[in-house]
Amino acid sequence: MIRIIDLFAGIGGMRLGFEQAYRKNIECVFSSEWDKFAVQTYAANFNGEEPRGDITKIPSKSIPDHDILLAGFPCQPFSQAGLKRGFVDTRGTLFFEIEKILIKKKPQAFLLENVKHLKGHDNGRTFKVIMRHLEAAGYKIFVKTLNAKDFGVPHNRQRVFIVGFLDHSAGFSFPESKGKKIRVGDILEKHADSKYTISDKLWEGHQRRKSEHKAKGNGFGYGLFNSKSEYTNTISARYYKDGSEVLIDQERKNPRKLTPRECARLQGFRGSFKIPVSDNQAYRQFGNSVAVPVIKAIAKEMLEYIKDIHCSKRKISHKKTLAK
């Protein structure tokens, strides 16, 4: 049994990816999430398990031993769409909570996820600090930016993934694109409620702002897609505000926003995933989450190696027993 911990867990997307990759051979021994609505969704989908709260208030020594640490640590401090304040933002310092756990508990491996702009933040200095601290903690590091649209969901979502192993002989490689043909129509509901159709006022505002940006020579503005589109723009936690990132074209109607279930599908969450919160909270949760198929693909590559570690330990133990 491979033990994982799920930090900054959100609604459990990283955990889901590992559970799907390794089925019943994964045990989540600890999770942490402070947002009460995310906790509600997490509990609804993981047999009532409620993550612990603020990780900064949980001593590292009290966290159970584990094999793999998972953490999609807060991306807002490094996001292109935000203020890009990095470690100046208190959320940016949460990376060091991960470091403390790695040093104290020494899991065999970890997987971290963040926005692709993390690598370029502060002219690359922020990323160098992160790499230096992870290496100083004793890990061999692998880094790659992957796009969700290459892993079976019609979603242009690039994220940087950082994998580390205590064993420096690790020959880990990130998964390659599945090359599966997908369309936005694959995730759309046949009959979306009319409440998701945006108002005349909002639609006029979207069009006006896009025209203004175009006049300035940039491409900012709403994104309009249909069932034949290969993929959508990236959905974010602010999608609930006006839906401008991803609007679905409708014949003889104003465009509509994605439904929460469509957002779930866009991130690769299966139909059985429960959405017990309001639409606005659901939009925030899926916008903040990870693309589950990407995590699953990385997990398969990682778990093959972790499995070998466990087999080696069993062989060594068996040899010691025979020697006696």
> Which own/partner contact pairs does 237-242 have at CB distance under 8 Å and 24+ positions apart?
237/283, 237/284, 237/287, 237/288, 238/81, 238/287, 239/263, 239/283, 239/284, 239/286, 239/287, 240/279, 240/280, 240/281, 240/283, 240/284, 240/287, 242/198, 242/202, 242/205, 242/206
Give the whole-angstrom CA distance, residue 94 versus residue 74: 8
Q: Note the pLDDT of residue 179.
A: 75
- Sketch the domain layout of the chain as residue ranges: 2-178+290-323, 184-286
Beta carbons of 210 and 221 less than 8 angstroms apart: yes
- Could you read off the pLDDT of 184-197 as tens digits, one per residue? 999 999 999 999 99
- Kindly report the backbone phi and psi dihedral angles of residue 120, in degrees, each rounded to the nearest multiple of 5, phi listed first: -100, -5
Beta carbons of 31 and 39 less than 8 angstroms apart: no
Comparing 91 with 243, the larger pLDDT belongs to 243
Q: For residue 79, is pLDDT > 70? A: no
Residue 320 pLDDT grade (very low, low, confident, very high; cuts 50, 70, 90): very low
Q: For residue 317, is pLDDT > 50? A: no
Give the whole-angstrom CA distance, residue 248 versus residue 268: 18
| CATH 3.90.120.10 is the classification of domain 184-286 | yes
The DSSP call for residue 321 is: H
Residue 16 pLDDT grade (very low, low, confident, very high; cuts 50, 70, 90): very high
Q: Note the pLDDT of residue 11.
A: 98
- One of 28, 75, 263, 311 is an active-site residue; which one? 75
Instruction: Kindly report the average pLDDT of the chain as a whole number.
Output: 88
- Could you read off the pLDDT of 44-60 as tens digits, one per residue? 999 999 999 889 899 88
Q: For residue 31, is pLDDT > 90? A: yes
75 as an active site residue: the answer is: yes
Residue 178 pLDDT grade (very low, low, confident, very high; cuts 50, 70, 90): confident
Q: State the pTM of this model.
A: 0.89
Residue 306 pLDDT grade (very low, low, confident, very high; cuts 50, 70, 90): confident
Give the whole-angstrom CA distance, residue 16 versus residue 248: 28
Residue 125 pLDDT grade (very low, low, confident, very high; cuts 50, 70, 90): confident
Fold annotation for 2-178+290-323: Rossmann fold (3.40.50)
Q: 87-101, 199-213, 262-276: lowest mean pLDDT where? A: 87-101
